[in-house]
A = this chain, B = another copy of it.
Amino acid sequence: MPVNLAAPDPAALLPVPGVELGIASAGIKKPGRKDILVMRLAHDSEVVGVFTQNRFCAAPVTVCKEHLHGGRDDDAGGIRALVVNTGNANAGTGEDGLRRARETCAALADKLGFKAEQVLPFSTGVILEPLPHDKIVAALPDAIADLKPANWAEAAQAIMTTDIVAKAATRKVALNGRDFALTGIAKGSGMIHPNMATMLSFVATDAPVSCEALEAILRYAVNKSFNCITVDGDTSTNDSCILVATGVTDAPVLMDDGDPRFNTLRDAVTELMIQLAQAIVRDGEGATKFMEIRVEGGRDEAECKQIAYAIAKSPLVKTAFFASDPNLGRILAAVGYAGVADLDVDRVKLWLGNVLVAENGGRSPGYQEAEGARVMAAPEINVRLYLGRGDAIATVWTCDFSYEYVKINAEYRT
């Protein structure tokens, strides 16, 4: 069951002026399940994205990259719609998969009066199966008929696969005394070890932002959020994270990071994406615990993240957390093999919650195992490591490794 994660309250999710969402059933995997999402964006919206680094990237990722390179000044006229399906990833499908993704875009563009290049496609689900794009195309009219701004919660539902809980977040951002909406959704539960983006996430604001500024905000926010989580260490073929700024306002456009509004918006997007990224971990396959791994005192952020991920990915650490066992040796072993070749282990300090458990290359003299066990018994656990080499910090979020993870992944598809 998800760890401290409730489904979003539909009434609390702020509509974003310039964004309409419509859902429908295409019957891709299960008849009757809402498995198609269409998003229509206002004219002149800016849209930026980051995508998986997996070499076997899915056909829709390739098509997204082709369609995105332009921006609103592109001859094609800028991105105006997104189409998302669950139940089939359209990954490992070669040339035929690209054709099916492009035909889906063309069909939606035709119905909405745009060009095919103004549509971005997204798919999630089983890999290596041909995308049933005819079913998707047949369901587009229902999705279009359903388009409305207040559909974020339904959209979060429609993009779920093995997710148990829908994931959405929302907030108001005040820029120069004017309020803008910032709302986003995400999906993901397994094959989660994002590398430049997570499974699928769509975030939108009506703030007016230039393409360059929006790109800078997205890269900053993803690096602090979706690129800081892992469930099973497997980087998906379909990871995509999209940030939209509709600019449906008469406020002046935020052009670059010299604008005093830049940091405010950047930090709001970052906080919202952290909330969505953490929701993915809380709903990680088989998760019973949520762990924050914070590594401090490194030479640079990269080595802090490297060590934090070694801990977060270790099956031995994750099974010990599942068992609420303060097995410090497994954490230190992971620190030791993380690949920081000149790490002086005698300077390393380790805390579970607020309890100092290890220092000087071994167990802390004052440590009582009962105190460690008390920390480990909670559903949320903070692990803090000090390296004693510098001032850099990185934080990674992960979940434990349970019988249920094995069950879900041994039974998926069957």
Chain-B contact segment, one of A18-26, A72-80, A177-185, A308-316: A308-316
Copies in the complex: 2
Residues of B within 8 A of A126 (CB): 329
CA distance A343 to B54 in the complex (A): 10
Whether the pair B57, A336 counts as a contact (CB closer than 8 A) is yes
From residue A188, how far is it (CB to closest CB) to chain B in Å? 13
Q: Does A89 contact B (CB under 8 A)?
A: yes
Whether the pair B55, A343 counts as a contact (CB closer than 8 A) is yes
Residues of B within 8 A of A406 (CB): 319, 322, 401-403, 405-406
Residues of B within 8 A of A402 (CB): 406
Whether the pair A332, B362 counts as a contact (CB closer than 8 A) is no
From residue A176, how far is it (CB to closest CB) to chain B in Å? 42
Chain-B contact segment, one of A163-171, A206-214, A230-238: A230-238
Whether the pair B314, A233 counts as a contact (CB closer than 8 A) is yes
Residues of B within 8 A of A329 (CB): 89, 91-92, 126-128, 237
Q: Does A298 contact B (CB under 8 A)?
A: no
Report which of B54, B128, B327, B340 forms a contact with A363, defined as CB distance below 8 A.
Answer: B128
CA distance A128 to B329 in the complex (A): 6
Whether the pair B414, A332 counts as a contact (CB closer than 8 A) is no
Q: Does A374 contact B (CB under 8 A)?
A: no
Residues of B within 8 A of A409 (CB): 315-316, 319-320, 323
From residue A371, how far is it (CB to closest CB) to chain B in Å? 15
* Residue on B nearest A233 in the bound complex, by CB: B315
Q: A56-B345, A89-B329 given. 12 additional CB < 8 A pairs? A: A54-B336, A55-B338, A57-B336, A92-B329, A92-B363, A128-B362, A233-B314, A236-B333, A319-B405, A323-B411, A327-B412, A402-B406
Q: Which residue numbers of A lie inside 8 Å of B, CB to CB?
A: 53-57, 89, 91-97, 126-128, 190-191, 193, 195, 232-237, 313-316, 319-320, 322-323, 325, 327-330, 332-338, 340-341, 343, 345-346, 358, 360-363, 401-403, 405-407, 409-414
